[in-house]
């Protein structure tokens, strides 16, 4: 029986055939810039071995000025070609195919030498670009063609020309960024000329039997974006110019609409790609928030596209396709679209990895090799740190017993999944449960562990997590109006119509979203689009509603407080913090920093702000004031002179998140 028959069907491109309909979308890894080409090759080879139909590399700069940042990797020298050869050889040895993405960032390039059709600074970069003159434009086009020819020389099966997401080609297409009055600006024909010339020249540089993907911005999601007619016109011209495949890009990086974050409903933008079906005769790929083979299968069977691009899911599990085709989707480590270890790392200059799979981009140094000396290992705590430690230790051949005082696996992940827009956490908890169930791990839930129970184990891993910090505000215990985030997120207490959230960290924001949202819009695509002001691009240029965001009214009135005077939410995820801040603004949450907490009375919370005492009237006050390590078992073991490994929140509570917990658990278990 063929599982997911549409997804697993080969795609005949005439001169070559892709083994299935999955495209591993382009992602920046950061490995190339470190010059560790064995690691680059190992990363892509693992995905080829796991069955990806066609891999697209991270964006490679066609020249220095077009790199996403100074020093960004490209194919400039013969040594570069030799380095890339390592990658293509390894991928081919695994039966895969790989295309190199050519990315000229234009005004998004994070450097003073950036160039653009017009000298208009982007809102997400401090650098004003230099306007290209006619010779400069000719050079940019020639550099794309040279990069394509070099990619062929390096053994790639194709190239992807990055024409979306607001990068250089996109910047030529719309008046938002192209104010030229020469033959490269003005009419749409003129603005489109750069894209067409790039495709034509690349095609003539590589010959006919070479995959040429053009990634088109199907919906810009910015003011003065392309109309749908323009997008279709461009697609047809791109086909004529020699593209083999049309890939979908959704939204510019500067768009104030989330496009890939976890709160975006699954497959939210496939209807846009569907509109393109039939307009061109080359295969069309769809993209964004497709992270499960069933979703991909439905997208294809409903005729939304010929092929499905998934990027981050291949970080989370290199064997995504192999597991899907074997009918074992439950074994796929799910990408929860958190961005925490991938895009947040990329945009902080760190190596990309994955919250769910710490081996991603670390394939050459983090290995779960079978042990030659199996040990009996006790893991106490079945949150993300303990679960991962237990799984890796078991995979390596150790005899693992996993304890938790709760009745269920998952620890704090079970709270995260209750937050509107974080429904993907259900899948992560399920994956942990499935993985544990199919392992040899002995599970002892509902068990309060005492030191003597750990006698006889060769190694003890404590992942006992955290306890909420008590802010000790006068009056806190006296009126029955104070609850903790645990009470709220575990559904043990409900909040009244007016709530105050004390503490504006990740959990304070989560709780404020929980309290203001009656039904998660992530579960209703139409509502979610209305909430963010997304419309049909056929109706509105760029797919943005002239009415703007139309959020549902808040379920209750919420005030969110912190003592620091900085902007609340400033320390949230680099690529997702703005979404949380915007969501709370849409729910009219009053956010205040620079306050101190004086006392709690039946009327609410008394604070001092700017030396003024004031009452925030509230029925419920929710404490989200951070966490402390739960170390009572660790301390008891230490007193008894017994050694143990302490990981996760029990080790360091500050800035704890599932990424650090899982990474620490995996690395410890890999070393035992």
| Active site members | 167
Q: Which of these ranges, 129-137, 168-176, 352-360, 530-538, lies near ligand SF4 under the rule CB under 6 A?
A: 352-360
Largest separation between any pair of C-alpha atoms in the chain? 81
Shortest Å, Cβ 316 to ligand SF4: 5
Task: Give φ, ψ of 308 to 5 degrees.
Answer: -120, 130
- The gap between the terminal CA atoms of the chain, to the nearest Å, is 41
Contact status: 418 vs ligand NAP (CB under 6 A) = no
Contact status: 573 vs ligand NAP (CB under 6 A) = yes
Say which entry of ligand NAP, ligand SF4, none residue 354 contacts (CB below 5 to 8 A, set by partner kind). Answer: ligand SF4
Shortest Å, Cβ 561 to ligand NAP: 7
Q: Residues near 82 by Cβ (< 8 Å), separated by ≥ 6?
A: none
Distances from the Cα of 220 to the Cαs of 20, 197, 252, in angstroms?
29, 21, 6
The C-alpha atoms of residue 135 and residue 116 are separated, in whole angstroms, by: 13
Which residue number, 245 or 332, has a Cβ lying nearer to ligand SF4? 332
CA atoms within 13 A on the CB side of 148: 29
Q: Residues near 187 by Cβ (< 8 Å), separated by ≥ 6?
A: none
Cβ atoms within 10 Å of 275's Cβ, excluding its own: 18
Number of residues this chain uses to bind ligand NAP (CB under 6 A): 22
| Angle value at C-alpha 418, between 417 and 419, nearest 5 degrees | 90
Shortest Å, Cβ 332 to ligand SF4: 12
The C-alpha atoms of residue 510 and residue 506 are separated, in whole angstroms, by: 6
- In the stretch 652-671, what mask flags binding to ligand NAP with x, by CB under 6 A? ---xxx--------------
Shortest Å, Cβ 195 to ligand NAP: 37
Which residue number, 287 or 562, has a Cβ lying nearer to ligand SF4? 287
**Residue pair 224/191 in contact by the 8 Å Cβ criterion:** no
Contact status: 255 vs ligand SF4 (CB under 6 A) = no
**Residue pair 68/125 in contact by the 8 Å Cβ criterion:** no
Say which entry of ligand SF4, ligand NAP, none residue 579 contacts (CB below 5 to 8 A, set by partner kind). Answer: none
**Residue pair 232/253 in contact by the 8 Å Cβ criterion:** no
**Residue pair 220/250 in contact by the 8 Å Cβ criterion:** no
Q: Is 146 left (phi over 0), alpha (psi -120 to 50) or beta?
A: alpha
The C-alpha atoms of residue 272 and residue 225 are separated, in whole angstroms, by: 15
Contact status: 651 vs ligand NAP (CB under 6 A) = no
- In the stretch 446-475, what mask flags binding to ligand NAP with x, by CB under 6 A? -----------------------x-x----
Which residue number, 159 or 260, has a Cβ lying nearer to ligand SF4? 260
- In the stretch 509-548, what mask flags binding to ligand NAP with x, by CB under 6 A? -x--------------------------------------
**Residue pair 54/23 in contact by the 8 Å Cβ criterion:** yes
Q: Which of these ranges, 205-213, 272-280, 309-317, 382-390, lies near ligand SF4 under the rule CB under 6 A?
A: 309-317
Say which entry of ligand NAP, ligand SF4, none residue 315 contacts (CB below 5 to 8 A, set by partner kind). Answer: ligand SF4
Enter the DSSP assignment of 233: H
The C-alpha atoms of residue 208 and residue 206 are separated, in whole angstroms, by: 7
Q: Residues 15 to 74: which contact ligand SF4 by CB under 6 A? A: none
- In the stretch 605-624, what mask flags binding to ligand NAP with x, by CB under 6 A? -------------------x
Say which entry of ligand SF4, ligand NAP, none residue 173 contacts (CB below 5 to 8 A, set by partner kind). Answer: none
Where on the chain is the footprint of ligand NAP (CB under 6 A)?
469, 471, 502-508, 510, 562-564, 572-573, 624-627, 655-657
Where on the chain is the footprint of ligand SF4 (CB under 6 A)?
312, 315-316, 335-342, 354-356
């Amino acid at each position: 029986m063929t599982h997911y028959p549409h997804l697993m069907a080969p795609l005949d491109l005439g001169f070559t055939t892709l083994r299935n309909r999955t495209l591993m979308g382009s992602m920046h890894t950061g490995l190339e810039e470190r010059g560790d080409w064995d690691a680059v090759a190992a990363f892509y080879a693992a995905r080829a071995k796991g069955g990806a139909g066609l891999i697209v590399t991270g964006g490679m700069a066609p020249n220095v000025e077009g790199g996403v940042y100074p020093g960004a990797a490209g194919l400039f020298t013969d040594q570069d070609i030799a380095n890339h050869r390592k990658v293509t050889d390894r991928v081919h040895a695994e039966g895969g195919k790989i295309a190199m993405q050519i990315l000229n960032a234009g005004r998004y390039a994070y450097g003073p030498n950036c160039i653009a059709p017009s000298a208009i600074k982007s809102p997400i970069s401090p650098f004003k670009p230099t306007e290209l003159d006619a010779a400069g434009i000719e050079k940019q086009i020639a550099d794309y063609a040279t990069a394509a020819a070099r990619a062929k020389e390096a053994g790639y099966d194709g190239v992807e020309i990055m024409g979306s997401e607001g990068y250089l080609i996109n910047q030529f297409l719309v008046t938002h960024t192209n104010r030229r009055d020469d033959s490269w600006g003005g009419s749409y024909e003129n603005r489109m000329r750069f894209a067409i010339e790039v495709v034509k020249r690349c095609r003539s540089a590589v010959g006919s039997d070479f995959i040429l993907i053009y990634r088109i911005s199907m919906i810009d999601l910015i003011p003065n974006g392309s109309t749908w007619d323009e997008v279709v016109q461009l697609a047809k011209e791109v086909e004529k110019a020699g593209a083999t495949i049309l890939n979908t890009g959704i939204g510019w990086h500067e768009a104030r609409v989330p496009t890939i974050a976890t709160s975006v409903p699954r497959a939210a933008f496939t209807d846009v790609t569907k509109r393109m079906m039939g307009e061109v005769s080359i295969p069309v790929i769809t993209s964004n928030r497709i992270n499960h083979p069933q979703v991909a299968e439905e997208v294809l069977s409903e005729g939304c596209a010929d092929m499905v691009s998934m990027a981050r899911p291949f970080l989370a599990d290199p064997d995504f396709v192999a597991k899907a085709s074997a009918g074992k989707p439950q074994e796929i480590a799910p990408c929860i679209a958190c961005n925490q270890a991938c895009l947040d790392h990329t945009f902080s200059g760190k190596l990309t990895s994955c919250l769910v799979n710490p081996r991603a981009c670390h394939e050459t140094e983090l290995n779960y090799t079978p042990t030659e000396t199996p040990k009996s290992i006790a893991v106490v705590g079945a949150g993300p740190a303990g679960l991962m430690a237990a799984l890796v230790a078991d995979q390596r051949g150790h005899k693992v017993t996993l304890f938790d005082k709760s009745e269920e696996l998952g620890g704090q992940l079970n709270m995260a999944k209750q937050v509107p827009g974080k429904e993907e956490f259900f899948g992560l908890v399920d994956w942990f449960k499935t993985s544990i169930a199919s392992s040899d791990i002995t599970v002892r839930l509902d068990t309060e562990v005492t030191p003597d129970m750990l006698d006889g184990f060769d190694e003890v891993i404590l992942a006992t997590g955290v306890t909420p910090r008590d802010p000790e505000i006068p009056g806190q215990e006296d009126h029955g109006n104070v609850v903790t985030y645990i009470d709220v997120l575990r559904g043990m207490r409900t909040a009244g119509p007016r709530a105050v959230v004390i503490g504006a960290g990740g959990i304070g924001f989560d709780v404020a979203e929980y309290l203001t949202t009656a039904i998660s819009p992530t579960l209703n695509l139409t509502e979610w689009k209305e909430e963010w002001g997304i419309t049909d691009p056929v109706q509105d240029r760029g797919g943005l509603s002239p009415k703007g965001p139309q959020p549902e009214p808040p379920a209750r009135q919420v005030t969110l407080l912190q003592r620091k005077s900085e902007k609340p939410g400033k320390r949230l995820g680099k690529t997702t913090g703005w979404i949380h801040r915007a969501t709370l603004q849409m729910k009219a949450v009053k956010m205040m920093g620079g306050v101190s907490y004086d006392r709690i009375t039946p009327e609410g919370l008394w604070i001092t702000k700017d030396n003024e005492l004031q009452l925030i009237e509230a029925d419920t006050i929710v404490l989200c004031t951070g966490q402390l390590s739960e170390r009572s078992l660790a301390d008891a073991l230490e007193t008894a002179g017994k050694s143990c490994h302490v990981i996760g929140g029990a080790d360091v509570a500050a800035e704890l998140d599932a990424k650090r917990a899982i990474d620490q658990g995996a690395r410890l278990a890999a070393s035992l």
